Amino acid sequence: MKADEEAQDQAASIAEVREAVKRFAAPEGGIVTALDGVSLKVRPSEFVTLLGPSGCGKTTLLRAISGFEELDAGEVRIAGAPMTGVPPHRRPVNTVFQNYALFPHLSVGDNVGYGLDVAGVPRAERNTRVGETLERIGLDGYERRRPDQLSGGQRQRVALARAIINQPKLLLLDEPLSALDRNLRKAMQLELKNLQHDLGICFVFVTHDQEEALTMSDRVAVLNAGRIEQVAAPETHYHRPATRFVAEFIGDGALFSGRVEGPAKDPVLVTADGLRFAVASGTPAGQEATLLLRPEHLEAAPKSPRASHGVIEARLEQSVFLGALHQFVCRLANGATIIAAPTGAGAGNLSEVAIGDSIRLAYRRDQPHLIPEVGDGA
């Protein structure tokens, strides 16, 4: 049953990275492990995002797929074919480079037609396809411009057009939007997403902007120090992060580590400094775990809270009005800050509290996610 599923998955994956390891000799001596056993599958017409802090190995993983870095261990497969030893120009993938890497000596038309020219596509067909591609990305009529006569956003589009004209199985994009200003970025995010949908090509997209990752992707792979922490849909990352790192990296929230105690009906997470948090009933006692409290989980506690709720004693430090949202920054007994952003009536109750006053916050005990602590060895 399990093997069956795996075989099916195998056939369906456009690209697969297995146990990839890549080490670099750092110029200042020593060895950097950029990829430390990364495995990832990209399914047909999927938009996968690699998300992680700077230096976690995102670019290295992309370059391993496109063939510019050779792996020290593990392998890359594209459409089922092993890519070990296959040079970049023979791989059915194309890349949108972070700095665009447009050829400065060629016109926009020749940049876009480059892939067709080197493949020896007949002139007439080449010209129609260049025209179509430029039209698709909204740059028709720009054929004869040179890259330096374009704005940043237009260059971005040319880089995109150049990469999709070969109709690759997989398009790799390394922080393609990072050089654009905020508004343009938003517009391009939508456009990229639409383009991906229309073309039906798989996108592997690199970013270190979590918002970008969450809005655009079918699945997000969170990387940390050369390892994949979790690969999942954006909602899963937000609501049920697999590790503390993912929980900290994606979204706002407060994290409390401790041990679960008490009866199965009323389990409580007790932290090292004695704070107690009610957790979902049925959580087995004795478990080491981390509780993730998102701002929207918290609201003002009623006079007599129900058993289905957990209560937190805190002091109101600051109240931040954000338009649609009202955030209350509170401090707990152990000095940790926690942010509450209640929706609906809960916000009204909280805004009556004066700054510096003590405050009682409540949350539904089954709402916050509990991340089970995994031993280092596992």
Ligand X SMILES: Nc1ncnc2c1ncn2[C@@H]1O[C@H](COP(=O)(O)OP(=O)(O)OP(=O)(O)O)[C@@H](O)[C@H]1O
Interface residues toward another protein, by CB under 8 A: 27, 66, 68, 87-90, 93-95, 97, 99, 101-105, 114-115, 117-119, 146, 148, 162-163, 166
Among ligand X, another protein, Mg ion, none, the one that 163 touches (CB under a kind-dependent 5 to 8 A) is another protein
Token duo for residue 336: 């940790």
* Tokens representing residue 187 in the block: 């517009």
CB atoms within 10 A of CB 335: 7
Q: Report the C-alpha gap between 135 and 192 in whole angstroms.
A: 15
> Structure tokens of 19?
């146990």
Place of tokens 């087995």: 284
Least CB distance to another protein at residue 350 (A) = 52
CA count, 13 A, side-chain hemisphere, 80: 7
Query: What string marks each residue from 158 to 197 as x (binds ligand X by CB under 6 A) or -?
Result: ----------------------------------------
Please identify, using beta-carbon distances, which residue of 248 and 313 lies nearer to ligand X.
248
| Residue 210 found at the interface with ligand X (CB under 6 A) | no
Using the rule CB under 5 A, give the single segment among 6-14, 54-62, 227-235, 339-347 that binds Mg ion.
Answer: 54-62
The answer to the question of residue 341 lying near ligand X (CB under 6 A) is no
How many residues bind to Mg ion according to rule CB under 5 A? 1
Q: Alpha-carbon distance 65 to 199, whole Å?
A: 20
Residue 34 found at the interface with ligand X (CB under 6 A): yes
Given Mg ion, ligand X, another protein, none, residue 208, with its beta carbon under 5 to 8 Å by kind, binds ligand X
- C-beta of 133 vs 243, nearer to ligand X: 243
24 binds ligand X (CB under 6 A): yes
Which range touches ligand X (CB under 6 A), out of 52-60, 230-238, 257-265, 300-308? 52-60
The closest alpha carbon to 10, from 41, 46, 49, 50, belongs to 41
Which partner in Mg ion, another protein, ligand X, none is near 346 (CB below 5 to 8 A by kind)?
A: none
Binding mask 55-94 for Mg ion (x = CB under 5 A): ----x-----------------------------------
Q: Which stretch binds ligand X (CB under 6 A): 47-55, 188-196, 230-238, 347-355?
A: 47-55
* CB 168 within 8 Å of CB 201: yes
Report the residue number, 166 or 290, with the smaller CB distance to another protein.
Answer: 166
- Measured over the CA atoms of residue 167, residue 173, residue 176 and residue 177, the dihedral's sign is positive
Question: Of 93 and 332, which CB lies nearer to another protein in the complex structure?
Answer: 93
Return the closest-CA partner of residue 155 out of 132, 131, 179: 179
For every residue of 226-261, DSSP letters joined together read TEEEEEE-HHHHHHS-SSHHHHHHSS--EEEEEEEE
DSSP result, 14-68 = SEEEEEEEEEEE-TTSSEEEEEEEEEEEE-TT-EEEEE-STTSSHHHHHHHHHTS
The Cα-based distances of 245 to 162, 179, 241, 315, 321 in angstroms read 36, 27, 8, 27, 28
The size of the interface with ligand X (CB under 6 A), counted in residues, is 13
Q: Interface residues with Mg ion (CB under 5 A)?
A: 59
Q: Interface residues with ligand X (CB under 6 A)?
A: 24, 26, 32, 34, 52, 54-60, 208
